[in-house]
Amino acid sequence: MSENDASRRNFLTMAAAAPAVLALGGMAAAQDSSTAGTLPGAGKAALITGSSRGIGAATARRLAREGYAVTINYLTNHDMAAAVVQEIEAGGGRAIFRQADVADAAAVGALFDANEEAFGGVDVVVSNAGIMNVGPFAAMEDEAFDRMIATNVKGSFNVLREASRRVRDGGRVITLASSIILSKPAFTAPYAASKAAQEIFASTLAKELGGRNISVNSIAPGAVDTQLLRQHGEAALAGIPEATPLRRLGQPDDIANVIAALCASDGAWINGHNVFANGGLS
């Protein structure tokens, strides 16, 4: 293992190290309903970027189970996005999927248009699409830096700007930060900076949209078992369960549950915050 490999592995252990500032665990369960007529998302629509897999797909499935009509978005994985839609429809839900690069403002506008054409409007927007390039600051190449900033910062800006124009009164806007913004491990500076931007986006936008009864928050997951981490190799996940008070690695559903809690009526008073969701690793 090279020095860089060892350093990348360490940063992943450290990335999950951040305090949980809000305890939301009971809220999601409190909002579950087995009665179709009382589903919290009945008559509402949710748009989730980057929902062909990982946290975004888990969020789409969860919100669909809560009665939301959902718009699935992907960059390249057409078949995975289609499979999420098929699964939701098989469960009795409503969903569409559209390709759009969030870094492209026009494509994001077209994505929201597609949602409106299908479902009449949008009540929940989750800016989830993101990529993670890591390595020594001195070795970070322009292309890797530029693509990550274009996706994570400009892309989320595009999505949140469109959301601020289109989300219906009483809605929710959520963007994905990361617990890495507290632990600040070496070799992650550009990624961590791109995720820190989400906390600022959410806390400031909350002040702009509050007059329309719209809550805006960021969620900061710790390490979650998705391709975003697995692309760095199995060793990247080593040690994280043992170091986590809840003794396991985060799963996409752990984050989808917190998103659902914020979307529920009981979550309305949580506004302008960055919500850490990391199993207590600190």
Find the shortest distance in angstroms from Cβ 169 to ligand NAP: 27
- Asked if 249 and 240 touch (Cβ cutoff 8 Å), the reply is yes
Near ligand NAP by CB under 6 A: residue from 190, 221, 267, 279: 221
Which one of residues 18, 60, 101, 216 is an interface residue with ligand NAP (CB under 6 A)? 101
In the set 97, 112, 119, 191, the catalytic residue is 191
Query: What is each CA distance from 57 to 67, 253, 268, in whole angstroms?
Result: 15, 9, 23
Contact 144, 158 (CB under 8 A): no
Check: CB of residue 176 under 8 Å from CB of residue 218: yes
d(CA 57, CA 32): 19
45, 71 in Cβ contact below 8 A?
Answer: yes
Q: In terms of DSSP H, where are the helices of 150-188?
A: 155-166, 180-183
Q: How far is CA 59 from CA 96, 255, 259, in A?
A: 14, 8, 7
- Select from 34, 37, 66 the least CA-distant residue to 260: 66
Q: Count interface residues toward ligand NAP (CB under 6 A).
A: 33
| In the complex, minimum distance from the CB of residue 253 to ligand NAP, in angstroms, rounded to a whole number | 11
Q: Report 134-193 residues binding ligand NAP (CB under 6 A).
A: 151, 155, 176, 178
Q: Which of 160, 167, 223, 281 binds ligand NAP (CB under 6 A)?
A: 223
Instruction: Please tell me whether residue 128 binds ligand NAP under the rule CB under 6 A.
Output: yes
Q: How far, in Å, CA of 190 to CA of 25, rounded?
A: 31
In the complex, minimum distance from the CB of residue 51 to ligand NAP, in angstroms, rounded to a whole number: 6
Asked if residue 108 binds ligand NAP (CB under 6 A), the reply is no
Minimal distance, residue 234 CB to ligand NAP, in Å: 14
Asked if residue 226 binds ligand NAP (CB under 6 A), the reply is yes
Q: Is 4 in the site for ligand NAP (CB under 6 A)?
A: no
Closer CB to ligand NAP, 4 or 227, in the complex: 227
Report how far residue 85's alpha carbon sits from residue 73's, in angstroms, rounded to the nearest whole number: 10
Kindly identify the residues of this chain, within the stretch 11-70, that bind ligand NAP according to CB under 6 A. 49-56
Q: Please give the Cα distance from 136 to 258 (Å, whole number).
A: 32
Is 191 a known active-site residue?
Answer: yes
**Binding ligand NAP by CB under 6 A: which of 86, 204, 213, 227?**
227
CB of 111 to ligand NAP, least distance (A): 9
Where does this chain bind ligand NAP (CB under 6 A)?
Answer: 49-56, 73-77, 80, 101-103, 128-132, 151, 155, 176, 178, 221, 223-224, 226-229
Residue numbers annotated as active site: 191
